[in-house]
Amino acid sequence: MARAEHIALEEFNAYRMFVISGVGVREYYRRLDYRKYPGSFYMFKDLRRSILTEHSVNEVFLSNEDLVTG
């Protein structure tokens, strides 16, 4: 899913990823930060927020790594 999200954002400038989600897989997608689209069987994820979160996490990790290896 991460690869598909990356391609959607970087190559197609898509800011949301939608997936068809049956009842049995919704929890899986929730764990990946997808939310149910009201009144449909789709779930979606805001890729811009996801990318910002990933960059923030990476920056914190790298700054902590510098402290350890410093």
**pTM listed for this prediction:** 0.66
What string of pLDDT tens digits covers the 70 residues of the chain?
Answer: 999 999 999 999 999 999 999 889 999 999 999 999 999 999 999 998 876 555 444 444 454 455 455 4
Sheet architecture: strand order including 42-46 = 16-20, 42-46, 35-36
Distance of CA 25 to the CA centre of its chain: 16
The residues with which 36 forms a beta bridge, in sequence order, are 43
Label the pairing between strands 42-46 and 16-20.
antiparallel
Helices (H), 1-70: 2-12, 26-31, 47-69
